[in-house]
Amino acid sequence: MAPEPPLLSMEGITKSFPGVRALDGVDLTVLAGETHCLLGQNGAGKSTLIKVLAGAHRPDSGRIVWCGEEITLNSPSAATRRGIATLHQELDLVDGLSVAENIHLGHEPTTAGFIVRSAAARDRTARLLERLGHPRIDPAAPVGVLPAAQRQIVSMARALSHDARLIVMDEPSAALDPDEVAGLFRIVRGLTAEGVAVVYISHRLEEIRRIGDRVTVLKDGRSVAAGLPARTTPARAVVSLMTGRDVGHVFPPRPVRATGTTPAPAVRPALSVQGLTRAGEFAPLDLDLWPGEIVGLAGLVGSGRSEILETIYGARRPTAGTVLAGGERLRPGSVPRAVRAGIGLAPEERKTQGLLPTESVTRNVSLACLGRFSRGGWIDRAAERAAARRATRSLSLRPDTPDAQVRTLSGGNQQKAVLARWLLRGCKVLLLDEPTRGVDVGARAELYAVIRALAADGLAVLLVSSEIPEVLGLADRVLVLREGRVVHTAEARDLDEHRVLDLVMEGSPPV
Ligand X SMILES: Nc1ncnc2c1ncn2[C@@H]1O[C@H](COP(=O)(O)OP(=O)(O)OP(=O)(O)O)[C@@H](O)[C@H]1O
Residues found near ligand X in the complex (CB under 6 A): 17, 20, 22, 40, 42-48, 89, 399, 408-413, 440
20 binds, among ligand X, Mg ion, none (CB under 5 to 8 A by kind): ligand X
Q: Which stretch binds Mg ion (CB under 5 A): 144-152, 357-365, 381-389, 411-419?
A: 411-419
Q: Provide, rounded to whole angstroms, the least separation between the CB of residue 49 and Mg ion.
A: 9
User: Are the beta carbons of 188 and 33 closer than 8 angstroms?
Assistant: no
Decide whether 45 or 139 has the Cβ nearer to ligand X: 45
> What gap in Å lies between CA 308 and CA 278, rounded to an integer?
8
Decide whether 205 or 460 has the Cβ nearer to ligand X: 205
Alpha-carbon dihedral of residues 105, 106, 110, 116, nearest 10 degrees?
-30
Q: Is 317 helix (H, G, I), strand (E, B) or coil?
A: coil
Residues 6+ apart with CB under 8 A from 206: none
Q: Provide, rounded to whole angstroms, the least separation between the CB of residue 309 and ligand X.
A: 24
Q: Provide, rounded to whole angstroms, the least separation between the CB of residue 44 and Mg ion.
A: 8
Q: Provide, rounded to whole angstroms, the least separation between the CB of residue 338 and Mg ion.
A: 32
End-to-end CA distance of the chain: 67
Q: Is 77 helix (H, G, I), strand (E, B) or coil?
A: helix
Q: Provide, rounded to whole angstroms, the least separation between the CB of residue 206 and ligand X.
A: 17
42 binds, among ligand X, Mg ion, none (CB under 5 to 8 A by kind): ligand X
Q: Provide, rounded to whole angstroms, the least separation between the CB of residue 10 and Mg ion.
A: 16
Decide whether 88 or 499 has the Cβ nearer to Mg ion: 88
Residues 6+ apart with CB under 8 A from 336: 314
299: left (phi over 0), alpha (psi -120 to 50) or beta: left
409 binds, among ligand X, Mg ion, none (CB under 5 to 8 A by kind): ligand X
Q: Provide, rounded to whole angstroms, the least separation between the CB of residue 51 and ligand X.
A: 7
DSSP 406: G
Give residue number: closest CB to Mg ion: 47
DSSP 302: T
399 binds, among ligand X, Mg ion, none (CB under 5 to 8 A by kind): ligand X
Binding mask 59-98 for Mg ion (x = CB under 5 A): ------------------------------x---------
173 binds, among ligand X, Mg ion, none (CB under 5 to 8 A by kind): none
Among 9, 29, 35, 47, binds Mg ion (CB under 5 A): 47
48 binds, among Mg ion, ligand X, none (CB under 5 to 8 A by kind): ligand X
Q: Which of 69, 61, 30, 329 is nearest to 169 (CA)?
A: 30
Decide whether 137 or 217 has the Cβ nearer to ligand X: 217
45 binds, among Mg ion, ligand X, none (CB under 5 to 8 A by kind): ligand X
Decide whether 221 or 291 has the Cβ nearer to ligand X: 221
Exposure on the CB side of residue 173, measured as CA atoms within 13 A: 27
Asked if residue 411 binds Mg ion (CB under 5 A), the reply is yes
Contacts 24+ apart (CB under 8 A), 449-452: 449/252, 450/394, 450/395, 450/423, 451/294, 452/252, 452/254, 452/294
DSSP 446: H
Alpha helix (H) residue ranges in 165-248: 178-193, 205-211, 235-243
22 binds, among Mg ion, ligand X, none (CB under 5 to 8 A by kind): ligand X
Residue 199 burial (10 A CB sphere; 0-12, 13-18, 19+): buried
Q: Provide, rounded to whole angstroms, the least separation between the CB of residue 115 and ligand X.
A: 33
Asked if residue 364 binds Mg ion (CB under 5 A), the reply is no
Q: Is 271 helix (H, G, I), strand (E, B) or coil?
A: strand
* Cα-to-chain-centroid distance, residue 446: 17
Decide whether 187 or 409 has the Cβ nearer to ligand X: 409
Decide whether 417 or 475 has the Cβ nearer to Mg ion: 417
Asked if residue 48 binds Mg ion (CB under 5 A), the reply is no
Q: Provide, rounded to whole angstroms, the least separation between the CB of residue 301 and ligand X.
A: 21
User: Are the beta carbons of 85 and 78 closer than 8 angstroms?
Assistant: no
Q: Provide, rounded to whole angstroms, the least separation between the CB of residue 48 and Mg ion.
A: 8
Give the binding-site size for Mg ion (rule: CB under 5 A). 3
User: Are the beta carbons of 200 and 173 closer than 8 angstroms?
Assistant: no
* Contacts with Mg ion, residue ranges (CB under 5 A): 47, 89, 411
